[in-house]
Copies of this chain bind each other. A is one copy, B any other.
Protein backbone atom coordinates (compact mmCIF):
# COMPACT_ATOMS: atom_id res chain seq x y z
CA UNK A 1 0.00 0.00 0.00
CA UNK A 2 1.42 3.37 -0.95
CA UNK A 3 1.10 6.44 1.23
CA UNK A 4 -0.34 9.81 0.28
CA UNK A 5 2.06 12.51 -0.85
CA UNK A 6 2.69 14.85 2.10
CA UNK A 7 0.82 17.72 0.43
CA UNK A 8 -2.23 15.50 -0.01
CA UNK A 9 -2.06 14.57 3.69
CA UNK A 10 -2.36 18.23 4.71
CA UNK A 11 -5.07 18.81 2.11
CA UNK A 12 -7.09 15.87 3.47
CA UNK A 13 -6.82 16.68 7.22
CA UNK A 14 -7.92 19.86 8.96
CA UNK A 15 -5.57 21.56 11.43
CA UNK A 16 -6.40 21.27 15.17
CA UNK A 17 -8.80 23.85 16.67
CA UNK A 18 -6.10 25.87 18.47
CA UNK A 19 -3.70 25.81 15.54
CA UNK A 20 -3.66 29.55 14.77
CA UNK A 21 -2.97 30.43 18.43
CA UNK A 22 -0.05 28.01 18.51
CA UNK A 23 1.31 29.29 15.21
CA UNK A 24 1.28 32.83 16.60
CA UNK A 25 3.12 31.71 19.76
CA UNK A 26 5.74 29.89 17.67
CA UNK A 27 6.21 32.93 15.43
CA UNK A 28 6.70 35.37 18.31
CA UNK A 29 9.05 33.01 20.16
CA UNK A 30 11.26 32.43 17.11
CA UNK A 31 11.35 36.10 16.11
CA UNK A 32 12.28 37.21 19.64
CA UNK A 33 15.15 34.73 19.98
CA UNK A 34 16.33 35.20 16.41
CA UNK A 35 16.69 38.94 17.06
CA UNK A 36 19.03 38.35 20.00
CA UNK A 37 20.97 35.66 18.07
CA UNK A 38 20.00 32.75 20.27
CA UNK A 39 20.06 29.20 19.03
CA UNK A 40 16.64 27.53 19.12
CA UNK A 41 15.96 23.83 19.51
CA UNK A 42 12.63 22.26 18.66
CA UNK A 43 12.23 19.22 20.93
CA UNK A 44 9.31 16.95 20.02
CA UNK A 45 8.30 14.48 22.70
CA UNK A 46 5.77 11.78 23.54
CA UNK A 47 3.64 9.57 21.32
CA UNK A 48 0.89 10.44 18.86
CA UNK A 49 -2.57 8.95 18.64
CA UNK A 50 -4.52 7.65 15.66
CA UNK A 51 -8.27 7.95 16.32
CA UNK A 52 -10.35 4.92 15.33
CA UNK A 53 -13.65 6.84 15.35
CA UNK A 54 -14.70 10.41 14.58
CA UNK A 55 -16.18 10.78 18.07
CA UNK A 56 -13.00 9.52 19.57
CA UNK A 57 -13.46 6.80 22.15
CA UNK A 58 -10.72 4.50 20.90
CA UNK A 59 -7.39 5.25 19.34
CA UNK A 60 -4.09 3.56 18.52
CA UNK A 61 -1.24 5.03 20.53
CA UNK A 62 2.52 4.89 20.25
CA UNK A 63 4.28 4.13 23.49
CA UNK A 64 6.25 7.06 24.85
CA UNK A 65 6.14 8.56 28.32
CA UNK A 66 8.18 11.51 27.03
CA UNK A 67 11.23 10.79 29.22
CA UNK A 68 13.82 11.41 26.47
CA UNK A 69 12.26 14.65 25.25
CA UNK A 70 11.42 16.19 28.62
CA UNK A 71 14.83 15.56 30.18
CA UNK A 72 16.65 16.66 27.00
CA UNK A 73 14.71 19.95 27.06
CA UNK A 74 16.20 20.73 30.50
CA UNK A 75 19.74 20.00 29.30
CA UNK A 76 19.25 22.16 26.18
CA UNK A 77 18.28 25.05 28.48
CA UNK A 78 21.52 24.41 30.43
CA UNK A 79 23.39 24.60 27.11
CA UNK A 80 21.98 28.07 26.44
CA UNK A 81 19.28 27.17 23.91
CA UNK A 82 15.82 28.64 23.65
CA UNK A 83 13.56 25.56 23.67
CA UNK A 84 10.29 24.86 21.89
CA UNK A 85 8.95 21.87 23.80
CA UNK A 86 6.32 20.32 21.51
CA UNK A 87 4.85 17.43 23.42
CA UNK A 88 1.97 15.00 23.63
CA UNK A 89 -0.61 16.28 26.08
CA UNK A 90 -0.16 14.57 29.48
CA UNK A 91 3.29 13.22 28.61
CA UNK A 92 6.23 14.15 30.84
CA UNK A 93 7.33 17.80 30.83
CA UNK A 94 10.65 19.35 31.84
CA UNK A 95 10.89 20.19 35.58
CA UNK A 96 7.51 18.70 36.60
CA UNK A 97 8.68 15.29 35.31
CA UNK A 98 10.65 14.86 38.56
CA UNK A 99 7.45 14.57 40.59
CA UNK A 100 4.57 12.19 39.97
CA UNK A 101 1.31 11.18 41.60
CA UNK A 102 0.94 12.51 45.14
CA UNK A 103 4.61 13.52 45.53
CA UNK A 104 3.85 17.24 45.40
CA UNK A 105 1.16 16.96 48.06
CA UNK A 106 3.40 14.84 50.25
CA UNK A 107 6.10 17.55 50.19
CA UNK A 108 3.72 20.13 51.65
CA UNK A 109 3.07 21.11 55.25
CA UNK A 110 -0.05 23.07 56.07
CA UNK A 111 -0.22 25.19 59.23
CA UNK A 112 -2.62 27.65 60.80
CA UNK A 113 -4.93 28.09 63.74
CA UNK A 114 -7.90 25.96 64.76
CA UNK A 115 -10.29 28.55 63.38
CA UNK A 116 -8.42 28.97 60.13
CA UNK A 117 -6.49 25.76 59.52
CA UNK A 118 -5.13 26.68 56.10
CA UNK A 119 -3.30 29.97 56.49
CA UNK A 120 0.14 28.89 55.33
CA UNK A 121 1.53 26.08 53.20
CA UNK A 122 5.27 25.35 53.14
CA UNK A 123 7.44 22.78 51.48
CA UNK A 124 8.83 20.50 54.21
CA UNK A 125 12.48 21.28 55.00
CA UNK A 126 13.73 17.87 53.85
CA UNK A 127 11.95 18.24 50.50
CA UNK A 128 13.41 21.71 49.87
CA UNK A 129 16.79 20.19 48.99
CA UNK A 130 15.20 18.13 46.20
CA UNK A 131 12.78 20.75 44.92
CA UNK A 132 14.84 23.98 45.13
CA UNK A 133 17.38 23.35 42.31
CA UNK A 134 14.64 22.22 39.92
CA UNK A 135 12.30 25.06 40.84
CA UNK A 136 15.07 27.65 40.44
CA UNK A 137 15.90 26.40 36.92
CA UNK A 138 12.21 26.45 36.04
CA UNK A 139 11.82 30.04 37.23
CA UNK A 140 14.91 31.18 35.30
CA UNK A 141 13.62 29.53 32.09
CA UNK A 142 10.17 31.10 32.53
CA UNK A 143 11.42 34.57 33.44
CA UNK A 144 13.86 34.69 30.52
CA UNK A 145 11.06 33.34 28.29
CA UNK A 146 13.40 30.66 27.00
CA UNK A 147 10.87 27.84 26.94
CA UNK A 148 7.64 27.53 24.96
CA UNK A 149 5.23 24.65 25.65
CA UNK A 150 3.08 23.48 22.72
CA UNK A 151 1.02 20.30 22.90
CA UNK A 152 -0.55 17.81 20.52
CA UNK A 153 -2.54 14.60 20.75
CA UNK A 154 -3.19 13.03 17.35
CA UNK A 155 -0.73 12.42 14.55
CA UNK A 156 -2.63 14.99 12.47
CA UNK A 157 -2.20 17.68 15.19
CA UNK A 158 1.50 16.82 15.33
CA UNK A 159 1.97 17.12 11.57
CA UNK A 160 0.35 20.56 11.42
CA UNK A 161 2.35 21.88 14.37
CA UNK A 162 5.62 20.43 13.07
CA UNK A 163 5.28 22.23 9.74
CA UNK A 164 4.27 25.49 11.45
CA UNK A 165 7.30 25.29 13.76
CA UNK A 166 9.56 24.70 10.75
CA UNK A 167 8.18 27.75 8.95
CA UNK A 168 9.02 29.85 12.01
CA UNK A 169 12.47 28.26 12.46
CA UNK A 170 13.55 28.50 8.81
CA UNK A 171 14.84 32.13 9.08
CA UNK A 172 17.29 31.04 11.80
CA UNK A 173 19.01 28.84 9.23
CA UNK A 174 21.96 26.97 10.85
CA UNK A 175 21.06 28.21 14.34
CA UNK A 176 17.92 26.05 14.33
CA UNK A 177 18.22 22.55 15.77
CA UNK A 178 15.46 19.96 15.34
CA UNK A 179 15.55 17.16 17.89
CA UNK A 180 12.68 14.94 16.82
CA UNK A 181 12.24 12.60 19.78
CA UNK A 182 8.45 12.16 19.53
CA UNK A 183 7.22 8.64 18.74
CA UNK A 184 5.13 9.47 15.69
CA UNK A 185 2.73 6.88 14.34
CA UNK A 186 3.65 5.38 10.98
CA UNK A 187 -0.01 4.60 10.38
CA UNK A 188 -3.35 6.32 10.43
CA UNK A 189 -6.96 5.75 9.46
CA UNK A 190 -8.13 7.94 6.60
CA UNK A 191 -11.05 10.26 7.56
CA UNK A 192 -13.39 8.64 5.04
CA UNK A 193 -12.78 5.13 6.45
CA UNK A 194 -13.48 6.17 10.04
CA UNK A 195 -16.91 5.30 11.54
CA UNK A 196 -18.84 8.21 13.10
CA UNK A 197 -19.93 6.39 16.24
CA UNK A 198 -18.28 4.06 18.68
CA UNK A 199 -17.67 0.66 17.16
CA UNK A 200 -20.22 -1.72 18.72
CA UNK A 201 -18.84 -4.90 20.22
CA UNK A 202 -22.11 -6.68 19.50
CA UNK A 203 -21.17 -6.62 15.84
CA UNK A 204 -18.16 -8.85 16.55
CA UNK A 205 -14.53 -7.82 16.76
CA UNK A 206 -13.64 -5.31 14.08
CA UNK A 207 -10.72 -5.40 11.70
CA UNK A 208 -8.90 -2.08 11.51
CA UNK A 209 -7.26 -1.12 8.21
CA UNK A 210 -4.46 1.37 8.61
CA UNK A 211 -2.75 3.51 5.98
CA UNK A 212 0.87 4.68 5.98
CA UNK A 213 1.55 8.24 7.13
CA UNK A 214 3.79 10.08 4.64
CA UNK A 215 7.37 10.51 5.90
CA UNK A 216 7.50 14.22 6.78
CA UNK A 217 11.26 14.09 7.28
CA UNK A 218 11.58 14.28 3.47
CA UNK A 219 9.98 17.73 2.91
CA UNK A 220 11.23 18.91 6.31
CA UNK A 221 14.91 18.43 5.42
CA UNK A 222 14.74 19.34 1.74
CA UNK A 223 12.18 22.17 1.77
CA UNK A 224 11.03 23.48 5.17
CA UNK A 225 14.31 23.97 7.10
CA UNK A 226 17.03 23.17 4.54
CA UNK A 227 19.79 24.86 6.60
CA UNK A 228 18.85 23.56 10.06
CA UNK A 229 20.64 20.79 11.97
CA UNK A 230 18.15 17.94 12.01
CA UNK A 231 18.36 14.99 14.42
CA UNK A 232 15.94 12.08 14.22
CA UNK A 233 15.53 9.10 16.52
CA UNK A 234 15.21 5.44 15.66
CA UNK A 235 13.64 3.11 18.20
CA UNK A 236 13.77 -0.60 17.52
CA UNK A 237 13.26 -3.70 19.57
CA UNK A 238 15.56 -5.78 17.37
CA UNK A 239 19.28 -4.96 17.76
CA UNK A 240 20.09 -6.49 14.36
CA UNK A 241 18.10 -3.85 12.48
CA UNK A 242 19.34 -0.79 14.37
CA UNK A 243 22.36 0.53 12.46
CA UNK A 244 21.14 -0.59 9.04
CA UNK A 245 17.82 1.19 9.44
CA UNK A 246 19.53 4.35 10.73
CA UNK A 247 21.86 4.46 7.72
CA UNK A 248 18.93 3.85 5.41
CA UNK A 249 17.15 6.82 6.98
CA UNK A 250 20.19 9.14 6.60
CA UNK A 251 20.68 8.10 2.97
CA UNK A 252 17.04 8.73 2.20
CA UNK A 253 16.43 12.02 3.99
CA UNK A 254 19.95 13.54 3.99
CA UNK A 255 19.76 14.92 7.52
CA UNK A 256 22.70 15.13 9.93
CA UNK A 257 22.24 12.58 12.69
CA UNK A 258 20.18 9.59 13.79
CA UNK A 259 20.18 8.70 17.47
CA UNK A 260 19.40 4.99 17.50
CA UNK A 261 18.24 3.01 20.50
CA UNK A 262 16.79 -0.29 21.57
CA UNK A 263 13.59 -0.14 23.63
CA UNK A 264 14.96 -2.24 26.49
CA UNK A 265 18.33 -0.43 26.91
CA UNK A 266 17.40 3.11 25.84
CA UNK A 267 18.04 4.64 29.26
CA UNK A 268 21.69 3.50 29.32
CA UNK A 269 22.87 3.32 25.74
CA UNK A 270 22.27 4.98 22.37
CA UNK A 271 24.17 4.92 19.08
CA UNK A 272 24.96 8.17 17.23
CA UNK A 273 24.82 7.43 13.50
CA UNK A 274 26.04 10.12 11.07
CA UNK A 275 26.56 9.76 7.30
CA UNK A 276 30.21 8.82 7.95
CA UNK A 277 30.48 7.52 11.52
CA UNK A 278 28.70 5.60 14.23
CA UNK A 279 29.59 5.53 17.93
CA UNK A 280 28.00 4.69 21.23
CA UNK A 281 27.02 7.09 23.97
CA UNK A 282 26.37 5.17 27.16
CA UNK A 283 26.30 5.44 30.92
CA UNK A 284 28.58 3.32 33.06
CA UNK A 285 26.92 1.38 35.84
CA UNK A 286 28.35 3.86 38.37
CA UNK A 287 27.01 6.84 36.42
CA UNK A 288 23.54 5.28 36.17
CA UNK A 289 23.52 4.47 39.90
CA UNK A 290 24.65 8.01 40.80
CA UNK A 291 21.53 9.35 39.04
CA UNK A 292 23.16 10.71 35.89
CA UNK A 293 20.72 10.71 32.99
CA UNK A 294 21.92 9.66 29.54
CA UNK A 295 20.23 12.73 28.05
CA UNK A 296 22.94 14.90 29.63
CA UNK A 297 25.82 13.45 27.50
CA UNK A 298 23.47 13.06 24.50
CA UNK A 299 22.53 16.75 24.56
CA UNK A 300 26.15 17.82 25.22
CA UNK A 301 27.25 15.86 22.14
CA UNK A 302 24.42 17.07 19.91
CA UNK A 303 25.06 20.63 21.04
CA UNK A 304 28.79 20.35 20.22
CA UNK A 305 27.98 18.92 16.78
CA UNK A 306 25.51 21.74 16.19
CA UNK A 307 28.14 24.37 17.11
CA UNK A 308 30.62 22.81 14.69
CA UNK A 309 27.96 22.88 12.00
CA UNK A 310 27.27 26.59 12.63
CA UNK A 311 31.01 27.38 12.59
CA UNK A 312 31.54 25.45 9.36
CA UNK A 313 28.72 27.38 7.66
CA UNK A 314 30.15 30.72 8.86
CA UNK A 315 33.61 29.75 7.58
CA UNK A 316 32.35 29.15 4.06
Contacts and interface: CB of A to CB of B under 8 A. Distances in A.
Contacts of A135: 105, 108, 110, 118, 121
Given A53-B237, A57-B237, A95-B105, A209 B207 contact: yes
A68 B108 CA distance: 26
A59 to B, nearest CB: 6
Contacts of A315: none
The size class of the interface chain A forms with chain B is 35 or more
B187 A206 contact: yes
Nearest to A107: B121
Interface stretch (A33-41, A165-173, A196-204, A225-233): A196-204
Number of copies: 2
A132 B149 contact: no
A193 to B, nearest CB: 11
A96 B90 contact: no
When A and B form their complex, which 4 residue pairs have the shortest distance between CB atoms, in order from nearest?
A118-B132, A121-B123, A186-B201, A55-B237
Interface of A: 1, 49, 52-53, 55-63, 65, 90, 93, 95-96, 99, 101-102, 104-105, 108, 110, 117-123, 128-129, 131-133, 135-136, 138-139, 149, 183, 185-187, 196-198, 201, 204-212, 235-238, 263-264
29 contacts: A49-B61, A53-B237, A55-B237, A55-B263, A57-B263, A59-B61, A96-B102, A96-B105, A101-B149, A102-B138, A102-B149, A110-B132, A110-B139, A117-B132, A118-B128, A118-B131, A118-B133, A119-B132, A121-B132, A187-B205, A187-B206, A196-B237, A197-B237, A197-B238, A198-B238, A201-B212, A205-B211, A205-B212, A207-B209
